[in-house]
């Protein structure tokens, strides 16, 4: 703390006296202002104090801008700034505030570029075989026919005689045949027996019969047959006939015509 003169300096003794008086006054003022006064009446600290000194040595305090009375000397008491106090302890953290509302959803970003095509995977296992499809429609049929005129005379004997033949490829067939005969000689009723024979030895279907009066030269008889068979390979089919039964060796008949038709089919089922 120092005292500055507002006018020309006086003697050293007077200055010392003023300093002493000012020190006592300041000490007293400080004791009143800061001695435990922490309430609302605490004195406001000031950096500068102004004093006026009368010629007889008395001093009184005035405001900063107030002039001293005539004949008095103005003194200014300036206090130097004290050191900065240590930083106080950090206060405890306050309670966390509530979380703010979520912000609005940002706009959708642009679609990224398509990535490169990956490598082709290995082939999967073979799937199970599907169910068989429905059987297709039967294809168009083929028909084979043979009409033959003949004058074969058949006597009452168990031996069958060939009347006509037809050649066929392998396949399934439904046959129809007709044999016509006239009575030739003899007496009483007789029977004409006819059947289809495969390759001269295998009978196709049963023997078909028709009766006639052998003693009537005008008597005419016909045998009709309609067997069916599946041929494993190409072959020759014949109509074979005989007259019977025995023992009437004088009875006979004359075959006048023989007709055979073979119609090929896609599916043949023969029911016994």
State the pLDDT at residue 229: 94
Backbone torsions φ then ψ of 124, nearest 5 degrees = -75, 170
Among 1.25.40.10, 3.40.630.30, 2.60.120.660, 3.30.360.10, name the CATH number for the domain at 143-265. Answer: 2.60.120.660
State the pLDDT at residue 41: 60
Q: In the chain, which residues fall in CATH 2.60.120.660?
A: 143-265
Backbone torsions φ then ψ of 224, nearest 5 degrees = -115, 140
Taking CA 197 as the corner, what is the angle to CA 149 and CA 210, rounded to the nearest 5 degrees? 60
State the pLDDT at residue 245: 67
Q: How far apart are CA 180 and CA 149, in angstroms?
A: 10
SS3 call for 20: helix
pLDDT in single tens digits along all 272 residues of the chain: 444 434 333 333 343 343 333 443 443 443 344 444 555 565 566 667 887 888 887 887 887 778 888 888 888 877 777 788 899 898 898 898 898 898 899 899 899 899 899 899 898 899 899 898 888 766 667 899 998 887 788 877 668 889 999 999 999 999 999 999 887 777 777 788 899 999 878 999 999 988 888 777 778 889 999 999 999 999 999 999 988 765 556 677 888 899 999 999 988 888 87
State the pLDDT at residue 38: 56
Task: Name the β-bridge partners of 155.
Answer: 252
Using only C-alpha atoms, what is the Rg of the chain?
Answer: 77
The number of angstroms, rounded, from the C-alpha of 205 to the middle of its chain's C-alpha atoms is 62
State the pLDDT at residue 9: 36
State the pLDDT at residue 19: 38
Q: How far apart are CA 163 and CA 144, in angstroms?
A: 17
SS3 call for 23: helix
State the pLDDT at residue 196: 95
């Amino acid at each position: 703390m120092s005292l500055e003169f507002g006018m020309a300096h006086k003697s050293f003794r007077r200055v010392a006296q003023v300093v002493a008086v000012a020190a006592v006054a300041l000490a007293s003022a400080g004791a009143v202002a800061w001695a435990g006064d922490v309430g609302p009446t605490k004195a406001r600290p000031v950096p500068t104090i102004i004093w006026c000194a009368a010629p007889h040595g008395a001093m009184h305090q005035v405001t900063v801008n107030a002039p001293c009375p005539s004949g008095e000397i103005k003194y200014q008491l300036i206090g130097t700034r004290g050191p900065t106090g240590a930083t106080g302890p950090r206060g405890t953290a306050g309670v966390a505030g509530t979380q703010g509302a979520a912000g609005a959803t940002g706009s959708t970003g642009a679609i990224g570029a398509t990535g490169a095509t990956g490598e082709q995977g290995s082939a999967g296992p073979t799937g199970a075989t599907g169910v068989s499809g429905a059987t297709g429609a039967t294809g168009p049929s083929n028909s084979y026919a043979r009409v033959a005129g003949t004058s074969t005379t058949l006597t009452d004997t168990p031996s069958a005689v060939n009347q006509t033949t037809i050649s066929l490829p392998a396949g399934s067939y439904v046959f129809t045949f007709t044999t016509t005969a006239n009575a030739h000689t003899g007496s009483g009723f007789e029977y004409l027996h006819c059947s289809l024979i495969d390759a001269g030895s295998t009978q196709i279907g049963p023997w078909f019969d028709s009766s006639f009066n052998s003693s009537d030269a005008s008597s005419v008889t016909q045998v009709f047959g309609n067997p069916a068979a599946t041929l494993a390979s190409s072959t020759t089919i014949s109509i074979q006939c005989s007259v019977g039964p025995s023992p009437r060796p004088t009875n006979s008949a004359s075959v006048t015509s023989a007709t055979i038709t073979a119609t090929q089919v896609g599916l043949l089922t023969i029911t016994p």
